[in-house]
Amino acid sequence: MKRLIIKEEIDESKNVFTFNTDENLTIISFDDKIDDEIKTMLEQSHDHVQICHSFDEIILTIDNIRNEKIILIVAGRYSRETLFRIHDNDRIDTIYIFCLNMSLYQDLIDEKKYSKLVVIYIEYTTLFNILIQQIHLILKHLSIFNLFNHTDKPILDLEYESKIDIFEQTYVSSDAIRWYTKDSFLYCFVNKALRTEDIEALFRLRYFIKDICKNLILLFDKNFEIYQDSLEAIIVYRGLTLPINIIDQLKQSVGKYVSTNGFLSTTFKRDVAEMFGANVIFEIKIETDLKNIIYGYIANMSYNPSEDEVLFDLDAIFQIIDIQYKDNKYIISMIGINNNIEYLKSDYFQIEREYLQDNLIDNILSNINAYSFF
């Protein structure tokens, strides 16, 4: 299982900034009196749940999780010491407090001292429903522009096999985007397969990926004239949690280019991008006469239409224009590139083709029209 692993690389000759995010998630519950019903509820919310009953156990559990994003649920009576001891651990993404008396811990929220502490809940049904939403959004909205990690192991293991089998038995090509937005597993599986160049996974999913690309092209062609006639540009948003060292690197990279090598999910709604404590908001402006970035407004095809989602096709490139700090968030403004830097794309295509040929993946990616620059 892989966490949001961020790698940075500056190519001064091409003026390109890239970084990698490899998203996976574990839920840890810290409560020495948790009952079986609550434990079952938590386990139903996600495939990877750890139950801890002491400080020693939770610290050991976190230490043993090397490459995962962690949502931590802590009983109120342990909340203050837990926040003091492990809030700043890089593996922790979000912290919830579960208690019977919210007023005892409201000061922890009001002080705004602990940025990862999102909210306090007094009953598990509400927390369970919020967890379902957050898991979906973390896996979907808190990952972004990627660099291949060639050391990753193949991801088509037994855990994924059963889900892939169900998918293959019920999938039809016209439902590609709905499937992609419905299941966080499938969303992560597709993008990770593209990033890690997992041959078996890419071959298994080649028709699905091709169907998504085809559907996005159809949506783009359908909406291109509508957008062009009524709007000069569209603006979409993406929320992300980044460590300060990467934010500092981004500050030094204004004017450079950011590339994706998976499908990029964004939203017209800034409040969706801001959900669950993301400390960075990417504000992406796309001129409506720009033809070399394919995207589609997929709300009518999505399993989650309220997210007002705009999905970008593979290999989108953006330029970082500005970075500002407002209301405890970094706002990173980007624009879609135009054809006058097409040479950049061509150079990276050539590099990637050479690499892929060496690794016997070129034919697969050619068949699905899905190249990555890195």
Which is it for strands 49-52 and 8-11: parallel, antiparallel or unpaired? unpaired
CA distances from 114 to 65, 68, 69, 87 (A): 22, 20, 17, 7
Q: How many Cβ atoms sit within 10 Å of the Cβ of residue 15?
A: 14
Instruction: Select, from the ranges 107-116, 186-195, 253-262, 324-333, the one with the highest average predicted confidence (pLDDT).
Output: 324-333
Residue type at position 78: Y
Maximal CA-CA distance, the chain: 62
**25-141 matches 145-367 in fold:** no
Chain segment 352-371, per-residue pLDDT in tens: 444 434 433 333 333 333 22
- From CA 50, how far away is CA 27, in angstroms rounded? 6
Mean pLDDT value of segment 4-21: 35
CATH, domain range 145-367:
3.90.176.10
The helix (run of H) or strand (run of E) holding residue 57 is helix 55-64
Q: CA dist 100 to 10, 55, 159, Å? A: 49, 21, 36
Region 307-320 average pLDDT = 88
| Structural class in CATH, domain 25-141 | alpha beta
Delimit the domains of the chain by residue range. 25-141, 145-367
Q: How far is CA 142 from CA 103, 145, 239, 272, in A?
A: 30, 10, 6, 11
| Position 329 confidence tier, pLDDT thresholds 50, 70, 90 | confident
Q: Name beta bridge partners: 231.
A: none
| pTM exceeding 0.85 | no
Angle between helices 124-141 and 36-45 (to 10 degrees): 20
CA angle 48, 114, 97 (to 5 degrees): 50
pLDDT for position 356: 38
Distance (Å, whole) CA 269 – CA 299: 12
Pair 199, 361: CB distance under 8 Å: yes
